[in-house]
């Protein structure tokens, strides 16, 4: 609600579920759906804003993945959550230093209105917990830092445990999508400490931005729920010469990996 508060188009949380008879595993998929990202009051430069119509690629991926899984008739329950908002600057926009209450009650000190994706994702992850999934995967065009680290064709993966990371990496290999695992170092969480809220949305420095964002999201995942985070900021949108099946524009990255993961979990 805070992130979308500056827009004339109100935010939405879309929930889509496929629940076939006999399914024994529940997979939750959470996607970032920032329909356009100006950066809000922490306004992006013009060149950084031009492709921000693709900032909804994570939500698109999880919603389409559920549709594909249903069409394939896989025996697995899958629920997708698309966290949709337009991040705009206006008199009603949320501000740096605002203390926001995430769904479920945790409070967050907003450090930068251009770090909006993790806020809408926190809401959606917290809501997904209520459906008690056996595994939770989130997909988001979350950080420029991941593009700096891995380039424009490789997705960054961070996870709660080796087994979950291995399942996602195996699915990505089966699907033919490039995914590379990154860590969430233990000291990162301390950088998110806040004097006025449960945690801050960003740290006070610019280092390890992709890992910081993952550490923030992990705070909202239910205890003991296997979780993986896919940062698709690099490969979600492509503006070069076509290669393989990838043409200029939105690439649909992540869909194939999520379908392959669902197939492997369906038994």
| Cβ within 8 Å of residue 174, ≥6 positions away | 260, 264
C-alpha 255/C-alpha 171 separation (Å) is: 11
Contact between residue 137 and residue 230 where contact means Cβ atoms under 8 Å apart: yes
The tokens for 121 are 């994702």
At 113-160, the pLDDT tens digits run: 999 999 999 999 999 999 999 999 999 999 999 999 999 999 999 999
Q: Which residues pair with 34 in a beta bridge?
A: 85
pLDDT surpasses 90 at 163: yes
The predicted-structure confidence for 50-101, as pLDDT tens digits, reads as follows 999 999 999 999 999 999 999 999 999 999 999 999 999 999 999 999 999 9
Select from 255, 251, 196 the least CA-distant residue to 230: 255
- Residue 253 DSSP one-character state: T
Q: Each residue of 213-252: pLDDT tens digit?
A: 999 999 999 999 999 999 999 999 999 999 999 999 999 9
Distance CA 154, CA 166 (A): 16
CA distance 97 to 193: 14
Calculate ∠ Cα 168-172-175, nearest 5°.
140
18: left (phi over 0), alpha (psi -120 to 50) or beta: beta
pLDDT at position 195 is 97
Please give the pLDDT value at position 78.
98
- Taking only the tens place, the pLDDT of each residue in 166-198 is 999 999 999 999 999 999 999 999 999 999 999
- Residue count of the chain, please give it: 267
pLDDT at 15: 98
User: What tokens does 104 get?
Assistant: 């479920």
User: What are the tokens at 32?
Assistant: 């970032």
Residue-wise pLDDT for 5-62, tens only, equals 999 999 999 999 999 999 999 999 999 999 999 999 999 999 999 999 999 999 999 9
Catalytic residue list: 44, 118
CB neighbourhood size of 14 (10 A): 15
CATH architecture entry for 3-265:
3-Layer(aba) Sandwich (3.40)
Provide the 3-class DSSP secondary structure of residue 121: helix
Token digits for 166? 């291995």
Say if residue 267's pLDDT is above 90: no
The pLDDT value given to residue 247 = 93
Strand partners, 17: 79
């Amino acid at each position: 609600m805070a992130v979308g508060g500056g827009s004339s188009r109100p935010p939405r949380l879309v929930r889509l579920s496929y629940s076939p008879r006999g399914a024994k595993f529940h997979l939750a998929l959470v996607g970032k759906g920032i329909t356009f990202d100006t950066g809000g009051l922490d306004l992006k430069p013009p060149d950084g804003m031009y492709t921000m119509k693709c900032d909804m690629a994570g939500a698109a991926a999880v919603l389409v993945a559920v549709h594909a899984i249903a069409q394939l008739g896989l025996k697995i329950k899958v629920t997708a959550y698309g966290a949709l908002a337009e991040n705009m600057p206006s008199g009603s926009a949320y501000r740096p230093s605002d203390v926001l209450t995430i769904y479920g009650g945790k409070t967050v000190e907003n450090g930068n209105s251009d770090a909006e994706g993790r806020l809408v994702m926190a809401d959606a992850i917290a809501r997904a917990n209520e459906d008690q999934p056996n595994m939770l995967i989130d997909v988001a065009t979350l950080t420029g830092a991941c593009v700096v680290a891995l380039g424009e064709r490789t997705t960054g993966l961070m996870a709660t445990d080796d087994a979950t990371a291995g399942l996602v990496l195996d699915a990505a290999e089966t699907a033919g999508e490039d995914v590379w695992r990154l860590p969430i170092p233990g000291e990162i969480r301390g950088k998110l400490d806040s004097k006025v809220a449960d945690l801050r949305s960003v740290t006070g420095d610019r280092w390890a931005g992709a890992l910081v964002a993952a550490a923030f999201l992990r705070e909202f995942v239910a205890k003991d729920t296997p979780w993986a985070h896919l940062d698709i900021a690099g490969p979600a949108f492509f503006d070069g010469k076509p290669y393989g099946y990838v043409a200029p524009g939105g690439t649909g990255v992540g869909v194939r990996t999520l379908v392959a993961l669902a197939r492997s979990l369906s038994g």
